[in-house]
Every structure is written in C-alpha cells, then in structure tokens.
Amino acid sequence: MKSNDHSANRRNFLKSTFTLGAAALATGSGVVLAHNNESGATTKTEKIKVLTTEGKVIEIERPVDNCKINPCAPPIGNDARQGIPGRSFVMVIDLARCKNARKCIEGCQEGHNLRPDQEWLKVYLMKDNPASEPYWFPRQCFHCDNPPCVKVCPVGATFKRQDNLVLVDDNRCIGCKFCVVACPYSVRIFNWEEPPKSDVSLEEYSPEVSLPAQVGTVSKCDFCADRSREGKLPYCASSCPMGAMYFGDRNEDAVSNGTETVRFTQLVKDRAGYRYREELGTKPNVWYLPPVNKMFDYESGLGDLSEEKQKVYDDIRYNTNGKHK
C-alpha cells in the first residue's frame, strides 16, 4: 500500500536468493481458494500457475492473506489511538554491524514518500570518548514509554499507544513544533514546505501509515505499524543489508532482522544491550547492542560520501567536539 514493493523486491534480490526457503515458506499460505478475509479490507490477490491432474497448467487467481493482525487495514481517525492488542513493539540495533550503508534511510524514504532531504531515520557518527573508535549510530524514533514529545503536545496530535508506538495524527497537528523541541533525540522533522504528492488520499489517512504528509505538520518514524499488520518488518529493518536492525514484539519475546530471529531478552542480555541516554528517563523502546568487535571499520562507511558530507563528521573523527577549527 505504502511503497513500491516491486523495487523493494529488486533491492532484496540478493538476500532473497539466499534465503529463498524462508521467504517462500512465509508467503505460501495454502491452496485454499476461497479464503475468508475477515478484515474486510481490500483483498489482494495473486495469480498462480497450477499443474492439474490432467497434466495441464492453468492459471488461477487466489486471495493472498497477508493479514497477520486483525484488522489488517490501518485504522483511521480516533481508532488509531488504540494500540494493537497484545503487542509491544521494540527494536534492537546492532551497532557492530552498521557501516552506514544508508539503505535503511533509503528504504524508509521510499516507503514513506519522503524527499531525499527528509530523514526519519538518521545515521550519526558517534564516539563515546576521545580514546574509543567512532561508530555508526542509526537513530529513529525511540517510541519512548515516557515520551517527552507527547507530554508537551497541546492538542494531543501526537500520542502514545498501548503497543508502544508514539504516532502523529497529521490531521490534528497544529504545527507548534513543541514536540520537536521536547524530543531530546532530535527525532521529529517538520514539513516546512508542501510534501511530495502521495497515492494515498486524505480520507484514507491513518497515523500508522503517515501518508499523505501535510505541510505545516510534524512527522516522524511510525515503526511501520501498517506493515506489521501484514507480518512485514519495517522498511528500515528489511532494507538493511547487514541485518543490523532487529524488529519485533516484546510480548512474543522475538525480534527479527529478516534473516535471523532471536529472543529479545536473550539478545539484549547476552550482548549487553542498552538504551541511548537511559538517564533521561524517557524509557525508549529501541535498544542498542554496543559497537564491540565491529564487522567493519567505521571509515568504510565514509567511502561513498561526497567530501562535503564527510566534513560533517570531522568533529567526531578528530575530537574537535563542536569547536570551530
């Protein structure tokens, strides 16, 4: 619904050939020709070729039931203020695997119809102390359990749900930007100008999909709840070529990066997972695995960037700490 799945497929081609088994098994859902779609949402169909007992190949159309959460259609209006029952979405980011490939950013931008200069997900170069090595730090909305942004919203346009998500209702946002200011992680961005046109109409707007974007309102990472309803990982997690981003449901105690699924508790326990700036008391729902035994040299992430873009990392790389040289 949101994106061009076709190009996403193309991007994932490499991965899919190697993990075809898993991928194909996950989508193949039985030749039950008349499948009830209880959600009542627009039923997607797929055409399949079937070899009959007579030895003929016939093409039939059957509904695809991608629905993993009922209802499958993202809720509209005030219904979106309720969380998905029984879910507690979390993300775990393995900093040892990130090499600033920026595929997560591209996947997110494509999926959410953002301009190339609008990043819901940013990859920062971080350095914890002057002696340690810099590392790449992907940062999207942390969907905090004590969200400073939600506290300050004067109209309840941004809200916290029972399934951990912090979403923005663009139909209600008055654009005061107090939430942008209140977020200590600089997560939120503002639509300063008319955003690119979207296929989704304003009547279909759901805070879970965040489309269409509206000028003068705030937008941010929505954890792709609409994709979760179809059992799909968020764009960022599924685009990461390194499998650095694990997404999942904490209630199920499972997080997946698309190729590997692990227990959340185990992963965070074994790898000394931490939350960024725990001391702020915001209780984020994004965990980081420390950048130890990194798979890549951080400098490999600079390779494809222009000189101008590399310059913004100088402060971190040369320990100048924000001072002008």
Question: Of 181 and 292, which CB lies nearer to other proteins in the complex structure?
Answer: 181
Helices (H) then strands (E): counts for the chain: 11, 13
Per-residue x/- track, 218-257, other proteins (CB under 8 A): x---------x--xxx-------------xxx-xxxx-x-
For position 322 contacting other proteins by CB under 8 A, the verdict is yes
Half-sphere exposure of 227 toward its Cβ, with a 13 Å CA cutoff?
Answer: 20
CB 3 → other proteins: shortest distance, Å? 17
For position 30 contacting other proteins by CB under 8 A, the verdict is yes
Backbone φ and ψ for 57, nearest 5 degrees, come out as -100, 120
For position 142 contacting other proteins by CB under 8 A, the verdict is no
For position 296 contacting other proteins by CB under 8 A, the verdict is no
For position 316 contacting other proteins by CB under 8 A, the verdict is yes
For position 83 contacting other proteins by CB under 8 A, the verdict is yes
Per-residue x/- track, 4-23, other proteins (CB under 8 A): --x--xx--xx-xx--xxx-
For position 197 contacting other proteins by CB under 8 A, the verdict is no
For position 124 contacting other proteins by CB under 8 A, the verdict is yes
End-to-end C-alpha distance for the chain, whole angstroms: 48
Question: Of 110 and 190, which CB lies nearer to other proteins in the complex structure?
Answer: 190
For position 128 contacting other proteins by CB under 8 A, the verdict is no
Candidate list 4, 5, 31, 40; residue touching other proteins; CB under 8 A = 31
Candidate list 5, 24, 79, 199; residue touching other proteins; CB under 8 A = 24
Give the residues across from 89 on adjacent strands. 249
Residues 84-113 that bind other proteins (CB under 8 A): 85-87
Question: Of 31 and 292, which CB lies nearer to other proteins in the complex structure?
Answer: 31
Candidate list 99, 112, 139, 271; residue touching other proteins; CB under 8 A = 139
Per-residue x/- track, 57-76, other proteins (CB under 8 A): x----------xx-------
For position 217 contacting other proteins by CB under 8 A, the verdict is yes
CA distance 193 to 89: 31
CA angle 215, 148, 269 (to 5 degrees): 115
DSSP annotation of 81? G
Per rule CB under 8 A, count of chain residues that contact other proteins: 109
For position 116 contacting other proteins by CB under 8 A, the verdict is no
Tokens standing for residue 21? 């088994």
DSSP annotation of 289? E
For every residue of 41-101, DSSP letters joined together read SPPEEEEEEEE-TTS-EEEEEEEE---SSSS-SPP-GGGGGSPPTT--EEEEEETTT----
Torsion of CA 137, 140, 142, 148, to 10 degrees: 110
Tokens standing for residue 271? 């790898």
CA distance 238 to 240: 6
